[in-house]
Amino acid sequence: MKTATCSGEWWKQRAVESSRNAADQAVVLEAITVACPGKLILDAIDLRVPLGCICGLLGPNGAGKTSLLRLIAGLLKPGQGRAIVLGMEIPAREDAVRRLIGYVPERDGLYDEMRARDHLEHVARLVMPHDRQRRQAQLREVIRILALDEVLDEWCGSLSAGFRKRVALARALLGEPKLLLLDEVTNELDPLARVDFLTWLREWQRARPDRTVIFATHVLGDALVVCDRFVVLGRGKVIASVTRDELKTPEGDERKLEEALRTLLVRA
């Protein structure tokens, strides 16, 4: 089991080595610290997420999951440390990073007064301004894979929580993002919609092995269904970063997985 530690500035010596093999990593964070007046939001985070996996970001409320996603999306600048997302350093190339990222925030980020179609067309115009044909093709594609035909012309304010999440997800998928950041997307979903969503996510990623998903949740069961890797956060620190295989018993039994993760979460 790998446990993240941080002491002194040892990460600086590793910087050259890490930039060499950063090519196969979607996210490389080294001793990242983010603070706002009077509070440390992220405390010396050291994390690696390889390309082509679904990484679960687990932790109790206030652990720093959302802040970490915002940092990866280039919305927060690291106070200290080094962040490389999709091979590009943040904040130096944060504009380029933002173009390669799809992000679904916890509160879905939809405007109640606009239709689902308006949202999708707006984002499509932003990410593919001069490619009308490709824009139309991608709009059709996301509408098909998320089954949004029936709600396209409805006001977002009148949509159910499940459909709102689907519209938000469709918006994030436009422009073929290489890294998909999902923040507590299964909140407010009923049990059936939750299972549907998790199944869809698993299949979507399997069909596109070059895409990486970081899925922040505080629901252990959801992470266990879809994730290949688990990162446990607590009070702004990485408590553990482990793969599914590392958590299995030597016989390959997954039944103890939940127990092992629960132990880590208690530590968080």
Token pair 């720093």 is found at 64
3-state secondary structure 160-172: CHHHHHHHHHHHH
Q: Which of 56, 59, 74, 236 binds other proteins (CB under 8 A)?
A: 74
Q: Whole-number minimum distance, CB 44 to other proteins, in Å?
A: 18
Site string for other proteins, 227-266 (x = CB under 8 A): ----------------------------------------
Residue with smaller CB distance to other proteins, 66 or 212 = 66
Report the site for other proteins in 95-154 (rule: CB under 8 A).
Answer: 95-96, 98-101, 103, 105-114, 118, 122, 125-131, 134
Do residues 243 and 228 touch, judged by C-beta distance below 8 A? yes
CA–CA separation, 76 and 94 (whole Å): 10
178 binds other proteins (CB under 8 A): yes
Measured from the CB of residue 35, what is the shortest distance to other proteins in angstroms?
A: 9
Residue burial 220-243, b: 16+ Cβ < 10 Å; e: rest: bebbbbbbebbbbbbebbbbbbbb
Q: Positive or negative, the Cα torsion across 167, 161, 56, 222?
A: negative
Q: Does 73 bind other proteins (CB under 8 A)?
A: yes
61 lies in the site for other proteins, by CB under 8 A: yes
SS3 for 147? coil
- Nearest 5°: CA angle at 181, between 255 and 266? 40
- Between 157 and 221, whose beta carbon lies closer to other proteins? 157
Identity of the residue, 106 or 228, whose beta carbon is nearer to other proteins in the bound complex: 106
**What amino acid is encoded at 193 in this protein?**
A
Report the interface residues with other proteins, using CB under 8 A. Answer: 36-37, 39, 41, 61-62, 66-67, 70, 73-77, 95-96, 98-101, 103, 105-114, 118, 122, 125-131, 134, 171, 175-178
